[in-house]
Structure 1
Amino acid sequence: MGNSSGLSRGDRNRNARLARLRALVPVDNAIVGIDLADRKQMVVVTDHDSKVLARKTFRCRAWDLGAALDWAGQRAVTAGFTGVTVACEPTGHRWRVLGQLAADRSMAFVCVQPSMTSWSRRAEDLTCDKTDEKDAVLIARLTAQLRCYVPEPVDETWGRLRHLGARREQLLVEMVSQIQQLRALLECVWPAALDTARQPFRSRTWVATLSVICDRDGGDLSRTRRLGMTRLEQAVRREITRRGGQKPSLRIARNVFNALDDQAGVVAHRRGALERVQLLLGDWIENQRRLTDTEDRMTAVLNELRLTDLVTSITGLSAVGAAAILAQTGDPTRFTTARALVKHAGLAPREKLSGTFTGRTKLTGQGRPSLRLAAWRAVWGAQRANPVYAARYRHLTSRDDNKLSPTQAQAAIAAAILRHLHAVITTGRRWDPHTATHGTQPTDTPIPVAA
């Protein structure tokens, strides 16, 4: 079908987005801009020209703002409006409470990005003043200009997945920090222990041996030496079995035993540092257990949403990796296009074109950093196991014109994973390598539909 209107796809998508926003911010609604804080809430009621109709400070918590909304609604009706649209910045948790209070009163609710408020504050009067009164008016003004967005709808199951994703991210950060501390301590007092395995913190035997040395002998390496290799192996076997393993790598256990006589490092701090290593190992192992439990809960939520078969149809993407991404995106069907989801992650290219000038294209880097990180982590497994992604990586890093660096190519694959996730979930069809490669569906091979 031809494009007789001359509108581009971006024009049509933008027009549709503005139409959705206009339905929430109609001209016969007054706008209630609220600058949220802990115990002080600034509320202003304005028209669509940013003319302030009423202003009031409420000394209350966010969950007590129902009276403020009722007051704003009365002021709007007095000024001749039929209703109100409530707007605020989505900072912290208070905006969710405000959204619920607005929904209870059948009031439209939108959010304004804090970055938009910051830029508008600079353009307001060139003073960059930041006060609650000015911010509330700026929020209302940006809403009148439709420089706002519709927040994610409240859903119990998707909300649970988001909270579990935040929990998983917190545990990963803590575990990485604990590994860095363990490495720093051992490099200081017993560096030879780190050379006993190629990847010590990924070796179950190495961790078990270090735990035995620290738990049984309190970091006294001479006592462990007197224990003998045979008895140390038996203790390591018991520790491996207790943690659900089968058998240790005796080579690594013997390497650790041979490193007991190494005097490199600050020997005077060795016992105290190894005691700290013992405590850190306990915390790290406990966090591993918590991480496993959290990931099991996330995959259970994915099963509850009936998305496991769809998302794991993308070769190389695990259920945990997909759940981590979806915990950051929420329901992908709220994004009208796959490109909107990529923009939300900050993985969309930013063009620089003016006349005959063509600048360097970079990623926007805007959007949700945690979503960008989750997609980036998914690249490593998918790139190795998925032939489509592997071929794309080779093409992007070896083509003659505009060759990308490995990091740039991996960012492009991360964006492709997001687009494919959006496609399989919104269409309800499993991932197809031919469609992923060519963008068209072969006529002789039907796409299997998820049950």
Structure 2
Amino acid sequence: MPATNAVLGIDLADRKQAAALTDHDSRVLARRRAVCRAWELGPVLDWAVEQAQAAGFSSVTVACEATGHRWQVLEKLAAERGLNMVCVQSLLVWRAREGEDLTWDKSDPKDAMLIARLTTQLRCYEPETSDGTWSRLRQLGARRRRLLTESTACGQQLRDLLECVWPAALEAAKRPLESASWCAAIAVVLARAGDGDLSAVRRMGQARFVAAVGHELSAWGSTRSCRRIVEAVFAATDDAVGLVAHRRGTLERAGFVIADWREVHARRTEVETRMLGVLDELELTELVGSIPGVSVLGAAAVLAECGNPARFPTPRALVKHAGLCPREDSSGEHRGHSRLSGRGRPELRTAAWRATWGAQHANPVLRARHEHLTTREHNRLAGMQARAACAATLLRWLHVVVVRRVPWDPDVAAGRRPQPVAVAAGACVGAPPEKVISAA
């Protein structure tokens, strides 16, 4: 935000764009409405540069809200003209609109002026500029997140349906929705008992049923079945507990649900394979795989949500971006309870939380940290609080491993040995080296 630049606030929309050119005292120098798409804003930027130069400024800083994909198009147009661009959070614009005159008044020209005003107050940020490979990883991560939601919804719906008409099937496995053998067995049953008649499955015989489940198992990402679970599902077909009168329609619907679930599982497997291929392109597979307990896919999901970690100057900045940093509550003699800020990216927070579940038990450093946080005398944390702290620790590790291009070291991670200052060859550019990586 150089003082020699005027500020061009643009309220992006589908077909009608509003622009306001202001100085650093929020005085409006010019306004313009344009009926065009976002990728047709080039003439508006050229007009803004001419108006700024006529007012004594050397150039223009472009500002907008980072909503949808239109800001990326505007960033490209600004970069082609050598103009700086920043983004303003939509929540700040909403708050500024409310504080303007304490009403709900809203218009596109007014929002454009508010965006420019927030920019002059430095309440803005520089948007992420990623290359094609990192952008592809982000898109694949977003699709995988949606497929995970659909998969969870299908599993829960199947559980609800079977609890009504065939509860014995849910007793065949301790965690039925997580068992590939159980899912394959239920798929075979529902494919042959679409009319609600489970006796048709009984007439198959146990041997044919087990063979059919073996053929179905590959669709659920497994090659070996648990015979105990498969036989328990077959035995449950003789059970008459539940709303037997409703079995026909309910099992028919359950057959549709498990078919959708199988299809979602196949699409998710394809997306995950592509994500691992992107990590190979970035030459990060071996580095992130060096962290015990963290799967390469889990690390890929985290990196898909945060983008290139090199854009964060320190590991702490990445933790703050995820909203896993503590929020202080103190004033004078008062010392309140510190909680997570929760103001970061919720999808990144979720991905880090999921990756921590397995790593907490398999990683010795993370396991020791969790035990210390839950057993220390002063400021002892609850189990979930300690798990959130471990998730923040995992984000710090990933930042250092990816940015510095060094494998994970347990002594460095535990703070027993300082990290060398020299950056390894081929390291990412844009982040200063950390002298010490501490589990704290």
Do both share a fold (TM > 0.5)?
yes
Q: CA deviation at 1:227?
A: 2.8
Q: Stretches of 4+ moved more than 4 A in 1?
A: 241-247, 446-451
What residue is the counterpart of 1:146 in the other structure?
Answer: 122
Corresponding letter in the other structure for 2:332: G
Percent identity of paired positions between Structure 1 and Structure 2: 55
Look up the match of 2:290. Answer: 313
State the Cα distance separating 1:125 from its structure 2 match.
2.1
Q: Which residue of 2 aligns with 1:419?
A: 396
1:182 & 1:104 partners in 2: Cα distance?
A: 52
- Provide the residue aligned with 1:339 in structure 2: 316
8 Å contact from structure 1 (residues 31, 45) kept in 2: yes
Alpha-carbon deviations, 1:184-240, whole Å to 9, x = none?
111122111111111112222222221111112324212222333333233223333
Whole-Å Cα distance in 1 between the matches of residues 313 and 424 of structure 2? 23
The whole-number CA distance in structure 1 between the counterparts of 2:385 and 2:400 is 23
Give the deviation of 1:424 after TM superposition: 1.7
- Kept in 2, the 8 Å contact 1:434–1:442? The answer is no
1:52 counterpart = 2:28? yes
**1:254 to partner: Cα distance:** 2.3
TM-score norm. by structure 1 comes to 0.90
Equivalent residues in 2 for 1:103-252, closer than 5 Å = 103-218=79-194, 219-240=196-217, 245-252=222-229
Following TM superposition, by how much is the alpha carbon of 1:355 offset from its aligned partner in structure 2, in angstroms? 1.6
Q: What count of residue pairs does the alignment treat as equivalent?
A: 425
Gaps of 5+ in 1: 1-24
Classify 1:244/1:45 alpha carbon distance in 2 versus 1 (closer, same or farther; 3 Å).
Answer: closer
Larger mean Cα displacement after TM superposition, 345-354 or 283-292: 283-292
Match of 1:273 in 2: 250
Distance 1:37 1:291 in 2: 33
**Which stretch of structure 1 is more off in the superposition, 153-162 or 125-134?**
125-134
Whether the 8 Å CA contact 2:329–2:335 is kept in 1: the answer is yes
Residue 76 of structure 1 pairs with residue 52 of structure 2: yes
Return the TM-score normalized by structure 2.
0.92
What value does the CA root-mean-square deviation take over the aligned residues?
Answer: 2.1
Q: Is the 8 A contact 1:430 1:448 kept in 2?
A: no
1:442 to partner: Cα distance: 8.2
1:16 is aligned to none
Q: Give the conservation status (yes or no) of the 8 Å contact 1:309–1:450.
A: no
* Distance apart, 1:449 and its partner CA: 7.9
Q: Is 1:33–1:136's contact at 8 Å kept on the other side of the alignment?
A: yes
Contact 1:339 1:419 in 2 (8 A): yes
The structure-2 alpha-carbon separation of the partners of 1:361 and 1:37, relative to structure 1 and needing over 3 Å to count, comes to same
Aligned to 1:297: 274
2:331 to 354, 360, 384: 354
Q: Which amino acid aligns with 1:207?
A: C
Which amino acid is the alignment partner of residue 23 of structure 2?
D
Post-superposition shift, 1:244? 7.0
The partner residue of 1:393 within 356, 370, 378 is 370
Which stretch has the larger CA shift, 366-375 or 289-298? 289-298
Q: Partner letter of residue 202 of structure 1?
A: E
The residue matched to 2:29 in structure 1 has which SS?
Answer: strand
Summarize the alignment of residues 85-104 of structure 1 with structure 2, pairs less than 5 Å apart.
Answer: 85-104=61-80
Tell me the CA shift for residue 353 of structure 1. 2.0
Q: What CA distance in whole angstroms lies between the structure 1 residues aligned with 2:135 and 2:336?
A: 41
Contact kept in structure 1, 2:405 and 2:424, CA below 8 Å: no
- The CA deviation at 1:81 is 1.1
What residue in structure 1 maps to residue 387 of structure 2?
410
Contact 2:140 / 2:271 at 8 angstroms: preserved in 1? Answer: yes
- Distance change >3 Å, CA 442–CA 52, structure 1 → 2: closer
**Cα distance change, pair 118–246 in 1 and its aligned pair in 2 (3 A):** closer
